[in-house]
Amino acid sequence: MTMKALVIYYSVSNHTASVANLIAEKLNVETEAIHTKDAYGDYIIDKTKREIENKDYPSILPLSHNFDEYDTVILGTPTWWVSPSSPIYSLIKTGVLKGKTIYPFITTGFDVSGVEEKLRELLPDSKVMPSLIVSYTNAFRETGDGEILDWASKIK
Ligand SMILES: Cc1cc2nc3c(=O)[nH]c(=O)nc-3n(C[C@H](O)[C@H](O)[C@H](O)COP(=O)(O)O)c2cc1C
């Protein structure tokens, strides 16, 4: 079965990307990675802290999928400063998620409190479904495949 959903995500160290791929394979849907115009490189800590604090989000490259074709968007982000990552704010600002049903998955290293609520506030014109939290200890994923695939299987 091919459903009309798209997995879109941002990922720096591949945690969110690998979860995105697992979900997309399970549901047989396409993925799109968000790319910032400028790479963060060695300045990621300082730069992202400033972005989140100042609400000054990065430019992202044009998206390759036509969002008009999708009703359901599965949205993946790392946690940055107990917030969604700043490129996700940039994505939301483009307006492509308006009117969609959004299934968020959020990867975290230690503290993810309130990130889902922030997404809900940022997406008042979308239907935001309960999110999946995926925990990492360094590069090791603590959340098992079973939990991820269970969550994915509820996506309609
Ligand atoms: C700049 C920065 C800030 C972060 N802030 C948090 C945080 O506030 N809470 C948390 O749980 N993890 C935080 N992390 C850890 C990431 O959310 C976690 O490692 C995530 O899985 C990385 O995903 P990625 O590999 O897809 O980029 C932070 C990581 C970076 C790089």
- Global pTM value: 0.97
Sign of CA dihedral 12, 13, 16, 17: positive
pLDDT at 3: 59
Helix 15-27 / helix 145-153 crossing angle, nearest 10 deg: 50
Per-residue pLDDT of the chain (156 residues; tens, 9 = 90+): 455 999 999 999 999 999 999 999 999 999 999 999 999 999 999 999 999 999 999 999 999 999 999 999 999 999 999 999 999 999 999 999 999 999 999 999 999 999 999 999 999 999 999 999 999 999 999 999 999 999 999 998
Q: Which two tokens stand for residue 3?
A: 């459903």
Ligand 1 atom at minimum distance from 76 CA: 26
**Distance between CA 15 and CA 139 in Å, rounded?**
7
Q: Where are the domains of the chain?
A: 5-153
Q: Residues with beta carbon inside 6 Å of ligand 1?
A: 11-17, 44-45, 48, 78-82, 107-112, 136
Distance between Cα 80 and ligand 1 center (Å): 5
pLDDT at 41: 94
pLDDT at 1: 46
**Distance between CA 4 and CA 144 in Å, rounded?**
26
CATH class for domain 5-153?
alpha beta
**Distance between CA 28 and CA 2 in Å, rounded?**
6
Residue 21: strand, helix, or coil: helix
